[in-house]
Amino acid sequence: MTVLNVAILGFGTVGEGVYKTIESHQEELTAILGKKVKVVAVLVRNKQKARKISDKILVTSDFNEIIQLPKLDIVMEAIVGSEPSFTCLKKAIQKGCHVITANKQMFAHHGKELMKLAEENAVSVGFEATVAGGIPIIQTLRHLLKVNQVQSVQGILNGTSNFILTEMRENKESFADALTLAQQKGFAEADPTNDIEGIDAFYKLMILSKIAFGKEPDWKSVEIQGISDISYEKIQEAEKCGLRFKHIASISKKGDEIFGSIKPVLIEKFHPFYNIEGVENAVNVQSDIVGSITLQGPGAGMFPTASAMIEDLVYVSQYKAELQQQSLAKTV
């Protein structure tokens, strides 16, 4: 049986989740793809750290060792920050590999360039995991809403912030304790500033804007407010009035202009996000034909994010088969 050789860049919560899911779902993957999926290399920061990785796999902190492997089909990246991710993925694309990323910061900054490079090299870029964890919002917007004109997209896009707000309200926890718990559960980034100050949601919103409207607003025009000013007292006061704080990222199109904002909003019971609790994310899309659609699901964590990356693995692999068929059709 032929084999699909995969490298995983980064072995934090998400990278490890991808590795484990490839192992646990080998049978399903083989049945769908007609190929065995084999992890051949893992890029880590510190080689000495103990990890549960088969000793048949190359574990290295030098990406050059990975890119020089003679047979490499797909590079799956789950590193934090724009670099070295962007450079690694560019090299992978230039070598003819499909790439899959969970890195919202890198993709918000360099997604356009990566997609262009991928097109030039006849490979595909999977980025479902960059937005809203396990919710398939990217594929929904890219492939299932082609005729609909999207008017606006609203979302709870950061699992950590939603988890903190829920913990503070339901369990009367302090902000600091709720944040620590979010970190222990693997939801928050190692440096959680981007989570709680709205920056993480901002990157995700810009990615959604590009998919929904084909363009982004001027980044400087987007109002960004995090949740660090929301005290326990404010949450209790709101609760007494039947209101809840939710950290909502919104993007809409008026004429040719795109408007975006990310901020805590007080919402009433009838709002589709009122019952979105804990690490859950939700995305509401308003479009001209279908009206309002809301998708909800786990927005962070090991397996929800791995799920999005594994679905992308199937998507990009099938895309490759499609490309091969097309070029075969041209030759006969």
Residues designated catalytic: 204
For residue 300, state whether it binds ligand HSE (rule: CB under 6 A). yes
Binding letters toward ligand HSE, positions 61-90, x by CB under 6 A: ------------------------------
Q: In what order do the strands lie in the sheet with 257-267?
A: 223-224, 257-267, 244-254, 150-156, 280-287, 291-298
Q: Restricting to residues 280-299, which ones interact with ligand HSE according to CB under 6 A?
A: 299
Q: What is the DSSP track for 288-305?
A: TTTEEEEEEEE-SSHHHH
* Nearest distance, CB of residue 188 and ligand HSE, angstroms: 5
Give the Cα separation of 331 and 166 in Å (integer): 59
Q: Restricting to residues 174-193, which ones interact with ligand HSE according to CB under 6 A?
A: 187-189
* Nearest distance, CB of residue 312 and ligand HSE, angstroms: 15
Q: Are 36 and 30 in contact (CB under 8 A)?
A: yes
Residue 47, classified by CB atoms within 10 Å of its CB into exposed (0-12), middle (13-18) or buried (19+), is exposed
For residue 264, state whether it binds ligand HSE (rule: CB under 6 A). no
Nearest to 154 by CA among 280, 247, 256: 247
For ligand HSE, which is the closer residue by CB, 16 or 189? 189
Q: Restricting to residues 236-255, which ones interact with ligand HSE according to CB under 6 A?
A: none
Q: Which secondary-structure segment (H or E) carries 281?
A: strand 280-287
Question: 76 in the Ramachandran plot: left (φ > 0), alpha (ψ -120 to 50) or beta?
Answer: beta
For residue 312, state whether it binds ligand HSE (rule: CB under 6 A). no
Residue 319, classified by CB atoms within 10 Å of its CB into exposed (0-12), middle (13-18) or buried (19+), is middle
* Nearest distance, CB of residue 35 and ligand HSE, angstroms: 29
* Nearest distance, CB of residue 115 and ligand HSE, angstroms: 20
Q: Are 10 and 78 in contact (CB under 8 A)?
A: yes
For ligand HSE, which is the closer residue by CB, 117 or 207? 207
For ligand HSE, which is the closer residue by CB, 89 or 157? 157
Between CA 262 and CA 266, with CA 264 as vertex, the angle to 5 degrees is: 130
* Nearest distance, CB of residue 262 and ligand HSE, angstroms: 13
For residue 160, state whether it binds ligand HSE (rule: CB under 6 A). yes
For the chain, where are the alpha helices, taking DSSP H only?
13-24, 26-33, 63-67, 85-94, 104-120, 137-139, 159-170, 175-184, 193-196, 199-213, 232-240, 302-331
* Nearest distance, CB of residue 71 and ligand HSE, angstroms: 31
Residue at shortest CB range from ligand HSE: 160
Q: Restricting to residues 128-157, which ones interact with ligand HSE according to CB under 6 A?
A: 133
For ligand HSE, which is the closer residue by CB, 209 or 317? 209
For residue 158, state whether it binds ligand HSE (rule: CB under 6 A). yes
Q: Which secondary-structure segment (H or E) carries 155?
A: strand 150-156
For residue 195, state whether it binds ligand HSE (rule: CB under 6 A). yes
Instruction: Determine the size of the site formed for ligand HSE (CB under 6 A).
Output: 11
* Nearest distance, CB of residue 195 and ligand HSE, angstroms: 5
For ligand HSE, which is the closer residue by CB, 10 or 159? 159
Q: Are 147 and 289 in contact (CB under 8 A)?
A: yes
For ligand HSE, which is the closer residue by CB, 252 or 305? 305
Point out which residues bind ligand HSE (CB under 6 A). 133, 158-160, 187-189, 195, 200, 299-300
